[in-house]
């Protein structure tokens, strides 16, 4: 039987019956951190049914999976989820709890922290292990102009929400052994809200940038929104592609905030990232530097973006991108 106290927990998040990738990303980092101090990892799975999720979580690093199952947990409900997590935490006493900084995670984490009377470091971009199991949470501060590292030295559990695409998941090991604890909430609460219908937010049928394998991102250097639209033509040449923007592009309303990359936006790690007319400020680079291949296009040969790019094209995006599109089309047709 795995040791259940003083473990590092990850709260699993599901969407359309599938475990979100951020759950495996956080579990991978929790596994790495726990191993440095001889702790265990655990995942809290709240859902209608297990449906094989627990076994997959064990294969990817969990020592223990706490399942809270029932029809009332079929859809995310902050009151029911908070109640279940807090009751589990009070009984099994984790060292730390990690949440994905998604829409639901950002809603749930502060409620749990307030109920448990502990601290919460929100929207982290790094989590490290200090001495004696002390977790060090790092996040952007002062509008992204500096990074702050925060610790909660006296109260447990230590808590934080972490952006998706920050950490790499562990490779699954189907032979790995773990324990599943089916937990029944003792002090149930009634939800004050009844969900009548769920509809996805309109994204115009576009792929979320965090799910894209190719991202075409633009910055202020495009000059205006009409010219920015050439990125759509570039993205259309690739499967599983999306367009994105720097904070400046979002401020100009050339792209919506859901497609912003950087410290005040999202962190992405696609196979291919086009940084077009993006200067390469730290705020933007921190959100895309883990991309497998970065191609930068900028007319300023001294732009900081070239320092992180694998390939750089010095030139005006309004000239270079149409030629690039033409070349890619010709290659695909050959």
Over residues 90-111, the pLDDT tens digits come to 999 999 999 999 889 999 999 9
Give me the pLDDT at residue 111, please.
96
Is 298 annotated among the ligand-binding residues? yes
Q: How far apart are the first and last CA of the chain?
A: 60
Is 77 annotated among the ligand-binding residues? no
- Per-residue pLDDT, averaged over 146-165, amounts to 89
Domain match, 176 and 219 both: no
Domain match, 44 and 175 both: yes
Rounded-to-integer distance, Cα 127 and Cα 249, Å:
29
Give the structural domain span for 36: 8-182
Give me the pLDDT at residue 257, please.
87
Domain match, 167 and 226 both: no
Domain boundary among 182, 217, 244: 182
Domain boundary among 182, 198, 219: 182
Model confidence at 201, pLDDT cuts 50, 70, 90, reads low
Over residues 270-284, the pLDDT tens digits come to 999 999 999 988 889
Give me the pLDDT at residue 145, please.
65
Is 261 annotated among the ligand-binding residues? yes
Is 220 annotated among the ligand-binding residues? yes
Over residues 207-245, the pLDDT tens digits come to 889 889 999 999 999 988 899 999 999 999 999 999 999
Give me the pLDDT at residue 93, please.
94
Is 263 annotated among the ligand-binding residues? yes
Tokens 């005006």 -> residue: 316
- DSSP H or E stretch at residue 234: helix 230-235
Q: Which of 107, 109, 134 is nearest to 44 (CA)?
A: 109
Q: Which of 237, 233, 241 is nearest to 213 (CA)?
A: 241
Give me the pLDDT at residue 147, please.
80
- Whether residue 14 is predicted with pLDDT greater than 60 in this model: the reply is yes
Is 156 annotated among the ligand-binding residues? no
State the CATH number of the domain containing residue 295.
Answer: 3.40.50.1220
Average model confidence (pLDDT) for the chain? 90
Is 319 annotated among the ligand-binding residues? no
Question: Cα–Cα distances in Å, from 321 out to 212, 261, 305?
Answer: 20, 20, 17
Give me the pLDDT at residue 200, please.
60
Over residues 34-63, the pLDDT tens digits come to 999 889 999 999 999 999 999 999 999 999
Domain match, 65 and 117 both: yes
Domain match, 232 and 320 both: yes
């Amino acid at each position: 039987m795995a040791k259940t106290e003083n473990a590092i927990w990850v709260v699993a998040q599901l969407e359309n019956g599938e475990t979100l990738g951020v759950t495996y990303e956080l579990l991978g980092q929790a596994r790495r951190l726990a191993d440095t101090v001889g702790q265990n990892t655990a995942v809290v799975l709240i859902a209608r049914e297990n449906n094989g999720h627990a076994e997959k979580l064990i294969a990817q690093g969990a020592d223990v999976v706490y399942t809270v199952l029932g029809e009332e947990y079929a859809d995310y409900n902050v009151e029911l989820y908070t109640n279940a997590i807090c009751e589990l935490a009070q009984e099994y006493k984790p060292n730390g709890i990690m949440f994905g900084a998604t829409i639901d995670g950002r809603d749930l984490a502060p409620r749990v922290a307030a109920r448990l009377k502990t601290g919460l470091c929100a929207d982290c971009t790094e989590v490290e292990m200090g001495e004696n199991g002390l977790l060090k949470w790092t996040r952007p501060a002062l509008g992204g102009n500096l990074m702050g590292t925060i610790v909660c030295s006296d109260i447990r559990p230590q808590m934080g929400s972490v952006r998706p695409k920050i950490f790499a998941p562990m490779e699954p090991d189907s032979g790995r052994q773990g324990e599943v604890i089916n937990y029944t909430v003792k002090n149930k609460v009634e939800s004050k809200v009844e969900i009548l219908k769920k509809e996805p937010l309109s994204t115009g049928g576009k792929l979320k940038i965090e799910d894209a394998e190719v991202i075409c991102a633009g910055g202020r250097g495009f000059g205006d929104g009409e010219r920015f639209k050439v990125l759509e033509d570039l993205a259309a040449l690739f499967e599983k592609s999306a367009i994105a923007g720097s904070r400046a592009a979002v401020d100009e309303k050339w792209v919506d905030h859901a497609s912003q990359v950087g410290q005040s936006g999202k962190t992405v790690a696609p196979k291919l990232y086009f940084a077009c007319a993006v200067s390469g400020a730290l705020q933007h680079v921190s959100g895309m530097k883990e991309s497998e291949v970065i191609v930068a296009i900028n007319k300023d040969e001294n732009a900081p973006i070239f320092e992180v790019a694998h390939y750089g094209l010095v030139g005006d995006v309004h000239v270079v991108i149409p030629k690039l599109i033409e070349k890619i089309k010709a290659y695909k047709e050959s």
